[in-house]
Structure formats: structure tokens, C-alpha cells
Structure 1
Amino acid sequence: MLSPNCQVDGRLSQFLARSSFSRLEPESKRNYTTDYCVFFDFLWVRGKNWDEATSSDLWDFEDWRTRSIRNPEKVGGARWNRGLAALGRLYSWAVKQQYVSVSPIETREAIGRHGQIVEVPAARAKDARSSNVRWLTPRTFRRWVDVGLRGFSADGVPDAAWAGRLADRNSAFANLLFSSGVRLTEGASLLTLEIPNLTMDERRYYASRLAPVVTKSKRARTFYVASPVVGEIETYCESTRAASIRRAQRQGRYERLPQLRLVTSVSGHRMKVLHWRDRDGTVGKTALAQAGVEERALLFTEGPDGPEPLWVWLNESGLPFQPSSWEGIFRTATDRCQKVLAKTIAEPPFCTPHMCRHSFALYMLVVLHHVMDVRLGLTPQERRDFLLLYGDPWRMVQDLLGHADVETTRKIYLAPVSDLQLHSLIATPGRASDDSTDSAVDDVSWILAQLAAETSRIQDLRDDWAVL
């Protein structure tokens, strides 16, 4: 909540509603607003309004926010830099609007990503690179899902006392993030049109496309989902999701929605276009690639018993489950793991939506190296030829994650493991490899277990703890 002296400031209202801030993604808006509140409260204690801040105030705030023993909730470099970026956006706008004469954020020159000279905040932290990155091995993640989301006991069996709801939805969504590496908002805003359909062939992964408007980079990309996860999503859609829709239809919930766009047809093949009609009879069309998160929540299709949401993940009322709400689901699941597994495991697993993405990156890096170094049995010359033809594993992971720069993949997502003995581990797997899929999975699991033994950042279960 904003300080009292900031709540009634019309200029701030203008910034929030009509500046570049209004075009940010919902999650960024929430995060930036939190950062503004903290800084405004800091100024308020000093008897200052937001437009009276000086560079001295900013440096004092940096000291209090990141180092002072007077602050019981200090933040790390990455969190500080996010807040600094939020303040930079606000005060840059305020200078242009002539609401302040000088920004309190001092800048310095630095070398940009492509060698150019750029201006950056002088107070920007240099220790922000992967301080909060954590991973889970697949078996640890399965235990977290079973106990936290599906209500299993410490013995690895369903708990009769479990009273949780929507377990199939929650586990399917978590497995989607872990299997594909998509970001929270990307996965949470998927439409039924974008979920691949199971086929009779024995493929291991299914491909689909993310619309550019919902991605962080604003570029479309292909993502891959493991076959069992596609089946899990399909089961959820045909059971719990269908039941919540029928219930909402019986209660007339969709008829009472103030806004609803009924998709009457879909045209195009590669570039799908949604043709819709709203409650006022207005007819329009939206390219699927340009349907943003807010609009996606309004899209419905005509089912046998009335309108049905195109949004995949629904709450018990049959309405779109908002992306920000998934954070609470993950926290509750982690809390249950802590409670149920405390007497069984010294360090019960914990997980956040973004940790699923980090873990996917680590798993794919190990798998791709394993394919090159062991499964294919390449000589050094053959490996060079393979890299020229298909690319380096780091760049493959970069493409899967949708990073614009491979350095983001290396320095933020996988930096703490880049120094580990990855190649030596892969070159000497714990068991002899053969041509079976199970053997390959066992080899990768062994490699991940060895990596986990070298760093506390990778959560893994000891073999005698794991329920495989």
C-alpha cells in the first residue's frame, strides 16, 4: 500500500495509467509497484514526497535496503537491481514531464552487451548474477509434486487424510513447467488451442508454439512437452476442468460476466486468427499470436451446454486461474512438504515456478552433453562436426529457454554449475550405457546426483530417500 501522501498524487496516477508502465506485463507491474511502495515509505519517514528525492536519498536507500543492520528484510543484488530499474522508469518519465528537474538516480558509463557505451545506474549491484538460482533433480521434483500437490504421505502413497482440491490441475501445471521450461505467465496463459493433442505414435515429446505477445522477449518460440505431461493435461481437461465448466454453466456464471468474447471460428493454419463476437454483438478478430494475457481470459467457445473458456487452467468456479495465483499454490505445496517430510528427510524439497525453468535448463544441458559425449560415442573431430551442424548444447538450451543471449543462459541460469566437472562426470557414467532408454535415463540421473553432491544449489534425494 502506498504511503498516505502518495495515494492522492495525481501525477503518480498518470504514470501508472498512461506511461510506459501501463504496457508492462502484469507480473512486472506488481513487482514494480511493490518496489515503489518501499521507496516511498522510506522517503515518507524522512518527511519527503516522491518528487523531493535526491541522489543522497537514493544512496541512503541503497545502503538501508541491501546492507544496514537496521533493516530486518535486506535484499540481494538481483532484487535491488529490479527496484532500481523500477525507480529509473518512474524518474525518467518524471523528468520528461518536468515534474522533477533532476532524477535522483545517478548514472555512469559502461560497456554494453555488443561493445557500445551505455549509461547504467551508478548504484546498480554487481553481485546480482545467480544468487537465487536453485535446481531440483527430476526425482526430487517428483517427490515435491507427490507430497506437496497430490497429497502423498512420507511413505510415498496417497494420504487418506488429504483434503486438497484440484490436485490433477496443479500437478499437471507444475509438470508442464518442469518438462518444457516455459515461464510462469507463458504456461499459465495457454489456451486449449495451443495444447498439443496426443497421437497414437510413440513420440516422447510434443511441440507447440508460444505466442510472441505472452513471452518476455516478445518473440514466438517453440516449446516441447513430454508425452506423459501432455496426457496429464488432457486428463485434467476431460475431468476436473470439464466438471468446473459444467458447474459454472448450471449456475449461470458465464452469463453474468461483464466481458466475454465468443470465438465463432478459427481461420488460418500456421497463423491462426480467432473470429469472435462480444456481448454487445460487436464482431472482431484477433490473431492468436497477438492475443495478450488479458484478452485470453475473455476468450470463450460455444460448447454443447453453452460458453466454455479457452483458457486451460481454471479455478473451481470455472473461471481463468490467474498467473499470479500459482505462486500461492507452489508455496502451499512447499509448506506441506516441510510438514510431512521433516522427520524423513533432513532438507525437504522446496520449489517455485521459476525453479522449474532453472531445473529444465540444467537437465537439458546434461542430456545434450550426454548425447554428444557418450550416447553417440563421437571422436573429437566428429564432435566438432556435430557442433557445426547442430550447435553447441549451451545454445540449444538457450533456444529452448528463449533467451536472446547465450550469456544469460550461462551466467544466470547455469553459472553455478558451469564450473563443476560436467564433462568428466559424463565421460565416466556410473553404469555402463547401452541402447535402451532406461539406461540413458539412469546415466543422466547418476550425473545429476554427482553434480548435486558438489553444490548445495541442486536439491536431490539420497537413493534411500527417493521414491522412484
Structure 2
Amino acid sequence: MADEWQLFWTDRGGETADLSIVGAADLAERERRLGIRQRQPILISPEGRVDARMSEFFRRPPFVGKAPGTQESYALDYRLFFTFLWRAGLTWDRATAEDLEDWEDWRLRAEANDAPIGGAKWGRELAALRMLYDWATARGYVAVSPVRLRSVRTRDGVMAEVPELAPADVRTSDVKWLTPRAWKLWRDVGLRGMLPDGTEDPAWRGRNDGRDAAFADLLYGSGLRRREAGTLLVSELPPLGDQRFYAARLATAAAKRAGRHFYVSHASLREASDYRLTTRALAVRRAQETGAYERLREVRVIEEVTRRGEVRWTAPGGRTGRVGLNELDDRQRLRLFVRGPEGLEPAMLWLTESGMPRRYRGWSNLFARANRRCESLGLKLFATPHMARHSFALRMVVSLHYAMDRRMGLSPGQRRHYEEIYGGVWSMVKDLLGHRSEETTRAIYLEPVRGLQLETLLMGPDNSETTELLALIAERTGLVLDVPGAVA
């Protein structure tokens, strides 16, 4: 008997459970009768059983109302917690507040845990467990939720209920932003194998430098989330021209909440295009020469994309189907192929060295390796995918404020008088990031400019890259990583 819970997904590109384990040779038909939705998580206990209550939870609000990426994260959180309970001789519906305290201690502090998590991640896991147990308690499946609550007064004086085990401080670092020159140095040293002085490192053995740097720069130059950039199809990249920024459409199923337009800088799009024509093309050619794509069972070859955005595909054996381009999630995209001049090739932009579509979650490991390399070379720079997004937001708000002043010819004094006009800048950056709330953009992503006098942002010469303005913010706030003494 296994000693851990297993997680599978319906219609996930071949990731289905062993039918002999669950005892269902007609699994697809049973899923249909039970009302199991497409792309629904399935948790299987170490005894090989599917808990009907969890299946119900996964197809009901509030779980289905979460973004696809959040659903994936929450399902993984449940699997880990259920396994922890199982090894203690418990099932999830028998968990107590003391069991949750033990889990919190293990996740954050236990010496035997080789990968303890921080407060921010624990806060997310606690939110996932609270959602499950609130639902289970309301349905009568659990007598008392293990997530104990306490009453607190918010800043606006309203009383609210929060978990007792909620982290007191979820911020692991105040630094969330990098200036363009700090980003360039981190990328060149961490991803391209250069030395901090700009020379080549003879010991560097990287093989995917172009791909890795292109992906990181796409995040920094577009503000896309890791999932959004990591699931792009080649056809979703805008054609390279002579613009400073290019607009493209992000599919609903690939975005966090809703489809939207995104904008990518010329430099970032050029790098992605270069990768597609070089490193990616070479990986595809090698896979084609070995017949790797023809051996894949779960392949859907795109035959046509209609003007209404409908993808029509064929599969081995002559099976056909259609799906809206806007509805393609990350796992469906992994199965999509197109017919190129030399045969089949993946429709997704980012590929592994073997020419197979790359899963988007793996990009975080790339950033972690780059950070370790920078640290080993004495470089006090680090980055994460979300820091690239924060940095894009900061550059945009500074650039847009600066551009609007140039266009309207306002002096600093006039700028204060017409300050209300610049609410439009915050709204534009909110749209660029795909936020629902302008307050999120202001309060979280753009903290370095809060409290600074607006004319401070406008000091210095006309500079299209706003490098000096960002350097000034870095010096004044200590929240933005820069390269001291660097020449812009």
C-alpha cells in the first residue's frame, strides 16, 4: 500500500490514474454521469479510493471560482496535507486544530524538513485549507474545522475573522524591483554565464542561455506572469517590426482571471523571436530527425484556426475535434502541434532541449539557479518571475508619468495643480498588469513611488528609458535593486 495521496486531473494530456487502482475501466463514462467537469483534480487515497466528498468540492463553488493556477496550487496543498495526516494515522475529515498546528510547525520550522516554506506560502496554504474546511463544515462532512479563527479589527475599524495560525508577516523581502541595469547584470551573470566584470566565464557550461534569457526578458519587458508567458503559443507572439511596444492577446484560460491584451517591448520580443529562429529551431530539428514527435500518443495537430478563434485539430487514428483558442489551458497547449516544412513541431513557444513543450512551473527553478550563481560570485542581486513583473510595473508608471508631462508641457508646479489628470496613469498600468483593482497596483506593485513628491520623479534629463529616474527611486527608498556606480 502506498503511503501518500496521489493527484490526477481529468483531461490533462494523458495524466490519468491507473484504472486498475480505482476499479473503473469505463472511467470517462462514470465521470460524465457523476458530473465531473473538464480539468478537475482527482485525489486518490493511499488505499486507492476516491473520496466522493472531495470530488464534490472540486466541482462546486468556491473552488471552481478560483483561477486555474490557484486551483492547481490548492490541489497540491491538499495532497500534501492529506499525506501528512495519513502518515499520522488520520484522514482529512478527522483533522483537529492541533494537527494543523503540527503541520504548520513542519512546513515552517521542522529541522527534518529540507525545504521549509516562508510566511507568504504558508498564508496561501492556510487559505486553501480554510476554504475546504469551511465548505466541509457547512455541508456537515466535518463537525469542527481545524482552522481556528480569531477576531481582529482592520485598519478601517471593521471586525474580521482571520486564522489563528496566519503568518504575522508574509513579506520575505522588501525588495521587489530591479532597475534595467541591475536586471541586465543579473541576467548576464545568472543566465548567460558571464562574470560580474562583463567577461566570459570559461567554466560556464550552459546550453540553453538564449532560451532562458529570452524567457526572463519577456517577463521583464511585458509584465506577464510566469504562467502567462510560459504557456504562449508561437502564433500568439506579435510579428517583430520597428515599434517600441507591441500588443498581443492573452487567452482567458492562460491568464489568471480573464483574457486581456498585453504589451511587450521591442527588445524583449526581438530576443524571443531570435530564440525561436535559433535555439528552438535546432531543438525541433533534432526531435524531428529522431522521430520523437511521431511517437507521441497524445498529439493534436492544428489543421485550422478560424477567424472566430476556433482551433480545429486532428489526432492519431483520424479523431478530430475543435476548441476555442481562448479556452486552451496550459495542459491542452502541451499537446498542440503544427505541421512545419520538415514535419510536426510543437505549437508552444518554449521547448526543452529535447524539443518537447516545457511546463511553465519549471521556470522558477531557473531563477533560483541564477540567484545561486550570482551569490557565489559575490553579486548582491537576485530575481524571481514576479519581481520581473513588479519591475515592469514600476518602469511603466514612471515612464507614463514622464511621457505625459513631456506631451502636455507641464512644469512641476502645474503638475501639482493637475494632479488629478494622472489618475489615468495608474489605470493604464492596472490594465497592463491585468489587475482588477487599481488599489492593488498602487499599494503592492508600486510601493517605491508612494510618498515621493511627484516632481522628484521628474528630475533629470529627458531619458526614454527612465534609467536615472529609477536609480533615484532606488537610492531614496532602498526598495529597488540597482548597480551602485554603474554607468547608464
When the two structures are superposed, what TM-score results if normalisation uses the length of structure 2? Answer: 0.79
* Distance in 1, Cα, partners of 2:133 & 2:271: 47
Find 1:153's aligned residue among 195, 198, 215.
195
Question: 2:439 matched to which residue of 1?
Answer: 407
- More off after superposition, 85-94 vs 135-144: 85-94
Question: 2:392 matched to which residue of 1?
Answer: 360
- Identity of paired residues, percent? 41
Question: 2:484 matched to which residue of 1?
Answer: 462
1:154-173 alpha-carbon deviations (Å, 9 max, x no partner): 22133343210111111111
Question: 1:215 matched to which residue of 2?
Answer: 255
Does the CA-based 8 Å contact 1:133-1:412 persist in structure 2? Answer: no
Is 2:305 aligned against 1:273?
no
Question: 2:375 matched to which residue of 1?
Answer: 338
* Distance in 2, Cα, partners of 1:456 & 1:89: 37
Task: Give the C-alpha shift of residue 50 in structure 1.
Answer: 2.8
Is 2:454 aligned against 1:423?
yes
1:107-146 alpha-carbon deviations (Å, 9 max, x no partner): 5789999999987656545644785651111101101111
* Distance in 1, Cα, partners of 2:289 & 2:56: 37
Question: Quick check: which one's helix share is greater?
Answer: 1
- More off after superposition, 166-175 vs 273-282: 273-282
Does the CA-based 8 Å contact 2:244-2:266 persist in structure 1? Answer: yes
Does the CA-based 8 Å contact 1:136-1:460 persist in structure 2? Answer: yes
SS state at 1:223 partner = strand
SS state at 2:464 partner = helix
Question: 1:436 matched to which residue of 2?
Answer: none
- More off after superposition, 65-74 vs 451-460: 65-74
* Distance in 1, Cα, partners of 2:355 & 2:122: 38
Task: Give the C-alpha shift of residue 398 in structure 1.
Answer: 1.0
Does the CA-based 8 Å contact 1:311-1:320 persist in structure 2? Answer: yes
**AA in 2 matched with 1:180:** S
* Distance in 2, Cα, partners of 1:385 & 1:355: 32
Find 2:335's aligned residue among 268, 286, 298.
298
319 and 112 in structure 1: CA distance in 2 versus 1, 3 angstrom threshold:
farther
Give the paired residue count.
Answer: 444
* Distance in 2, Cα, partners of 1:211 & 1:114: 37
Does the CA-based 8 Å contact 1:129-1:412 persist in structure 2? Answer: no
Is 2:125 aligned against 1:83?
yes
SS state at 2:362 partner = helix
Does the CA-based 8 Å contact 2:219-2:388 persist in structure 1? Answer: yes
Is 2:223 aligned against 1:191?
no
Is 2:477 aligned against 1:440?
no
**AA in 1 matched with 2:317:** D
Question: 1:101 matched to which residue of 2?
Answer: 143
**AA in 1 matched with 2:392:** F
Is 2:428 aligned against 1:396?
yes
> Which runs of structure 2 are paired with 1:218-297 in the superposition (5 Å)?
219-268=258-307, 271-297=308-334
* Distance in 1, Cα, partners of 2:266 & 2:78: 43
Does the CA-based 8 Å contact 1:372-1:383 persist in structure 2? Answer: no
* Distance in 1, Cα, partners of 2:474 & 2:337: 45
Find 2:382's aligned residue among 325, 345, 350.
350
93 and 105 in structure 1: CA distance in 2 versus 1, 3 angstrom threshold:
same
* Distance in 2, Cα, partners of 1:304 & 1:336: 39
**Structure 2 segments unaligned to the other structure (5+ residues):** 6-44
* Distance in 1, Cα, partners of 2:75 & 2:295: 31
Question: 2:17 matched to which residue of 1?
Answer: none
- Aligned-residue RMSD, C-alpha: 3.7
370 and 302 in structure 1: CA distance in 2 versus 1, 3 angstrom threshold:
same
Q: Which has the higher contact order (CA 8 A, sep 6+)?
A: 1
Task: Give the C-alpha shift of residue 10 in structure 1.
Answer: 3.2
When the two structures are superposed, what TM-score results if normalisation uses the length of structure 1? Answer: 0.82
191 and 74 in structure 1: CA distance in 2 versus 1, 3 angstrom threshold:
closer
* Distance in 1, Cα, partners of 2:324 & 2:162: 37
* Distance in 1, Cα, partners of 2:372 & 2:117: 22
* Distance in 1, Cα, partners of 2:304 & 2:192: 37
SS state at 1:440 partner = coil
300 and 360 in structure 1: CA distance in 2 versus 1, 3 angstrom threshold:
same
Find 1:10's aligned residue among 33, 46, 49.
49
* Distance in 2, Cα, partners of 1:366 & 1:457: 15
Does the CA-based 8 Å contact 2:459-2:469 persist in structure 1? Answer: no
